Structure 1
């Protein structure tokens, strides 16, 4: 890791770490005011301390996501050749695919454990919310990969096996957050913006869609972020 990357990530870490406790308190407040009566009833069964701990867990997942997302941004920006960018994208997509599969499997195990009575409602919701936050990170990072890949020459993409349609499929899987039930549970713990970037003064929260919707899209032409 070069010096400029280290400094940038250190700055992000300091700002985001200071923001976590305040953001978590705000999240707990907003999460208890959701409009879904069924979600409210189930959330009210969770003790305030457990709900706060769950919100903090989500915020830490978001913090880690912010740091790793910025690292990807910086590495791609510092790549000196299209071939280097393609290699970074290909490696990242492979890692993201593996991680997303693991997270989807985790949700299945959590649902099975809940149905078997092996998890308390509070623990279940906390784990689901944190998993959803990690999925949102993959969604954002895949959007970055798609935007950069769309600007690469086709022959460079082909050489590394980078396919825009496959990137779109991966992003859509991550954006699904495991389905509507998972989304509802995550929002009951962490609010509507679960998994979004927590730093102040950063670019708009949520991924750019232009390069995914249109393989020929250019940076800076993003449509509004996908709200799940």
Structure 2
């Protein structure tokens, strides 16, 4: 990694460190919100809510840093094979992270079911896990986007499986199930449960990056021509 890249990533990390406590403070709701899941009606304590908000903000900021790091690595890759290698690294790391998060969530569920973990503490620890799963979903989506632009031979050389990347994206997008997602929303709001594909149309979700842009330019050109003729 060259000197410019190192400086860029260092700057991102510094900004992230400063932003965490400020963003977390603004993320804590003023009123106590109960779990939407129906699993428990115990209100989360202010301290637990604050800890959850800090955890969520950390997960989101770390996710942003990870995404920018991936973009820099792809931009610096000198060949399709090098880009495929970066995609493979991203997938391996994201898959390992998702598995670890699922294991943590399973442990929390078991502790809550046995009564070892109170409902408030459970909710506080679940919210950051859901935020991290959303980060994994975004990472997988970014890897999928790049992989779809690469030739098959480059992907094969690095053992990159686009279907496996897509499956990981969908797996992370489940957020540990509807109950878990509902608990996270009750603490941090709806944004934490928003999918990376929520703002895309069905055509966008299946089209390769760049497809449809030429048609958009043609449509814009036609509209400009009509507008000019009207004005004249």
TM range (shorter): 0.7 to 0.9
- State whether residues 100 and 138 of structure 1, in contact with CA within 8 Å, keep that contact through their aligned partners in structure 2: yes
Q: What is the deviation of 1:183?
A: 0.6
Q: 1:114 aligns with which of 112, 119, 141?
A: 112
Would the alpha carbon gap of residues 113 and 40 (structure 1) be closer, same or farther in structure 2, given more than 3 Å must change? closer
Per-residue deviation, 1:29? 1.8
Are residues 65 and 220 of structure 1, via their aligned partners in 2, closer, same or farther at CA, if it must alter by over 3 Å?
farther
Query: Which residue of structure 1 lines up, in the alignment, with residue 133 of structure 2?
Result: 135
Match of 2:209 in 1: 218
- Which 5+ residue runs of structure 2 have no aligned equivalent? 214-232
* SS of match in other structure, 1:131: helix
Which of 1 and 2 has higher RCO (CA within 8 Å, sep 6+)?
1
Q: Is the 8 A contact 2:35 2:186 kept in 1?
A: no
Residue of structure 2 in register with 1:77 after alignment: 75
Mark the structure with the bigger radius of gyration.
Answer: 2
* SS, match of residue 194 in structure 1: helix
Distance 1:113 1:156, change over 3 A: same
Query: Equivalent residue for 2:6?
Result: 6
Equivalent-residue separation in structure 2 for 1:58 and 1:37 (angstroms): 17
- Give the whole-Å Cα distance in 2 for the aligned partners of 1:184 and 1:170: 21
* Alpha-carbon distance, 1:213 to partner: 3.6
- Match of 1:217, SS? coil
CA deviation after TM superposition for structure 1 residue 20, in Å: 2.2
SS class of match (2:132): helix
Cα shift at 1:158: 2.0
For structure 1, which segment, 183-192 or 169-178, has the greater mean C-alpha deviation from structure 2 after superposition?
Answer: 183-192
Measured in 2, the distance between the counterparts of 1:112 and 1:41 equals 13
CA gap of 1:24–1:49, structure 2 versus 1, over 3 A, is same
Q: 1:220 to 1:193 in 2, by over 3 A?
A: farther
Say if 2:98 and 2:133, in contact at 8 Å, map to a contact too. Answer: yes
- How many Å separate the matches in 2 of 1:154 and 1:48? 52
Unaligned runs of 5+ in 1: 197-204, 223-228
Count the aligned residue pairs: 211
Q: Indicate the residue corresponding to 2:224 in structure 1.
A: none
Aligned runs of 1:19-58 on 2, under 5 Å? Answer: 19-29=19-29, 32=31, 38=36, 45-58=43-56
1:182 correspondence with 2:173 = no
User: Which residue matches 1:93?
Assistant: 91
How far did 1:22 drift? 2.9
Q: Distance in 2 between matches of 1:13 and 1:220?
A: 34
